[in-house]
Amino acid sequence: MPSCSVKKYFPFPRVKVVEQVVMPDALVAWIRIEPDIRFEPICHVCGNKVGRVHATDRRSIRDLNLATAQVWLYVTHRKVKCESCGGIHTEELEFVEPYAHVTKRMAQYIHDLCKVMTIKDVARHVKLNWKTVKNIDKRFLEEEYGETDYQGLRILAVDEISRGPHQDYLTVVLDYLTGRIVWIGEGRKQSTLDAFFEGMPERDRKGIEAVAMDMWDPFIASVKRWCPNAKIVFDFFHVVQAFNKVIDKVRNQEYRNATKEEKEVIKGSKYLLLKNKVNLRKKEKPHLKEVLRLNQNLSVVYILKDMLKGIWNYKYPKCAQRALENWCELARESKIQPVVKFVGKLQRHREGILNHCRYPIHNGKLEGVNNKLKVIKRDAYGFLDTRYFILKRIFHLRM
């Protein structure tokens, strides 16, 4: 009768299986592993063979299951006094990282599960602490996405993404041409974007032609500092979004000054004024029409909104400049204070608006990021670790 052996399931070099113990319920198996004395130990720091063994130690290491049984390796490993690099170090074992408590193949299995499952679910499935699962997944993500790849960057899109309440933001940098998420940093200050450009080789910084962003002064200052030759292009969506806030401010002012009858009409018109005409539902059109007929200032800002959008349709800078100047003149003539104040903002950032003619780029490719973030936040467990949160986001956004 041929004898059965589990040794083939543990083809680890320079060690040997000397004993196996299976618990009576067959749910846990212990495999005792010892060094093969025919091989000299290898220092895990420098990789050199070491003839002198300083001491031996033992530790339990979790391995892949065999059928329904949890497998634990009870490993005897040697500590060596390495003359090449100095000091006393644990010997190199190819199947497990130094000081780790799971084998490399078990760690890879956990990381693969984390790609499609939450940390909490993976921890429950493999019966390990969720912090252990998170740290394993984080290590793999750090190896794959920890270093920023600056090669081939010419046109960038920069935006801030809300991570949660209390003004908690992350800054996202996108390769506009490929759609690849290049980098994510904590915060939305100038120093945040500075950290991205600081790590970029000077040759690559000089190769940046244009950067799409909103009218956020810290980002503008950072791009001008590190990439003075790059054209700053203000994103159409964010400029209109900024003017939408002006419209809402005007609406609130008009509501406060309105009569009781007028308030009944203006009430509930916020999103009617902000919507594009094509997105209005049939029953909303009469209400909007009545609001615009009733209040002149709201009618003016509504018209100005459509005219502002039209500036991004021009392909030639001089035509766009005339359209912008015309818009600013009409806005000033309205004498509506929030609108007049917004004119000053546009004038200060006019170059970034006109640059759109040469580089018709925008941050639309980043708009889907928020939706994926919501999924990550809902399914995540243990994302108080900001670095892990960022790495996980980069992984999901590159899928």
Query: Residue 282: which H helix or E strand, with range?
Result: none
Q: What is the pLDDT of residue 386?
A: 81
366 is written with which tokens?
């980043």
- Name 53's bridge partners: 80
Structurally, at CATH architecture level, domain 155-234+362-370 sits in 2-Layer Sandwich (3.30)
Residue ranges per structural domain of the chain: 13-101, 155-234+362-370, 236-357
Give me the helices (H) in the chain, please.
104-114, 119-126, 130-145, 190-198, 202-206, 217-226, 236-257, 260-266, 270-274, 284-294, 296-310, 317-334, 337-348, 350-354, 367-379, 386-398
Q: What is the C-alpha to C-alpha distance for residues 156 and 179, in angstroms, rounded to an integer? A: 9
291 is written with which tokens?
């609001």
Q: Rounded mean pLDDT of 370-379?
A: 59
Q: What is the C-alpha to C-alpha distance for residues 350 and 346, in angstroms, rounded to an integer? A: 6
Side-chain half-sphere CA neighbours of 73 within 13 A? 30
Better-scored residue on pLDDT, 206 or 393: 206
Q: What is the pLDDT of residue 159?
A: 87
Q: Report pLDDT digits (tens) over 229-256.
A: 999 999 888 899 899 999 999 999 999 9
Burial of 153 (0-12, 13-18, 19+ CB in 10 A): buried
In this model, does residue 1 exceed pLDDT 50? no
- What are the strands of the beta sheet with 155-164, ordered from one edge? 180-186, 168-175, 155-164, 210-213, 231-234
Question: Where does the pLDDT of residue 64 fall: very low under 50, low under 70, confident under 90, or very high at 90 and above?
Answer: very high
For the chain, what is the mean pLDDT? 89
Q: What is the pLDDT of residue 8?
A: 87
Question: Where does the pLDDT of residue 353 fall: very low under 50, low under 70, confident under 90, or very high at 90 and above?
Answer: very high
3-state SS, residue 49: strand
In this model, does residue 354 exceed pLDDT 60? yes
In this model, does residue 87 exceed pLDDT 90? no
In this model, does residue 381 exceed pLDDT 60? no
Q: Taking each helix axis as running N to C, give the angle between helix 337-348 and helix 317-334, from 0 to 180 degrees, rounded to the nearest 10.
A: 160
3-state SS, residue 21: strand
Residue that the structure tokens 């759609």 belong to: 179
Q: What is the C-alpha to C-alpha distance for residues 88 and 118, in angstroms, rounded to an integer? A: 39
Q: Report pLDDT digits (tens) over 102-138.
A: 999 999 999 999 998 989 999 999 999 999 999 999 9
Q: What is the C-alpha to C-alpha distance for residues 369 and 265, in angstroms, rounded to an integer? A: 37
Better-scored residue on pLDDT, 389 or 261: 261
